Amino acid sequence: MRHALILTLLVACGGGTPTPTGTVCPDPDPGTLTYDNFGKPFMEKYCTWCHAADIPRSQRNGAPIYHDYDSLLGVLETPDHIDEQAGSGPDASNDFMPPGRCPSVAGGSLSKSCAQPTEEERQQLAQWIACERNRPHTF
């Protein structure tokens, strides 16, 4: 019985596959989360250690090329992937990214635990992406 419970918990928490969070930008867009006040600092804190355009393939610690989050344009090239890997919302709570081990300098060797976003930050990420992708951009 006890084992069955533990097994259920393990399956519920540990497994899972990247799933769209189903987050929708409120209409009208409240405009509270922006690239400057949220997206950029979030990416720099958690993601650009591996996902940046200036880190060559050999130093990305496995992060796929063309997933570069050191610019708004880069983020908006794979918004669904970001939502499915790191966002949280009504349909899913995704914590696949960042992974467990991180470099202490961008592109360096894996030497420490990655800082992990809070649940609230993951919800804000999904919310920001949902809104930002619909805003007008000049690029």
Binding residues vs ligand HEC (CB under 6 A): 46-47, 49-51, 61-64, 67, 78, 81-82, 85-86, 97-99, 102, 114
Strand partners, 122: none
Min dist. Cβ of residue 19 to ligand HEC (A): 12
Burial class (CB in 10 A: 0-12, 13-18, 19+), 48: buried
Nearer to ligand HEC, 25 or 70 (CB): 70
Cβ 41 to ligand HEC shortest distance, Å: 12
Q: Which is nearer to ligand HEC, 80 or 91 (CB)?
A: 80
Q: Which residue lies nearer to ligand HEC by CB, 2 or 67? A: 67
CA distance 114 to 49: 9
Token readout for 5 is: 């419970």
**Sign of the torsion angle spanned by Cα atoms 79, 32, 88, 38:** positive
CB of 3 to ligand HEC, least distance (A): 30
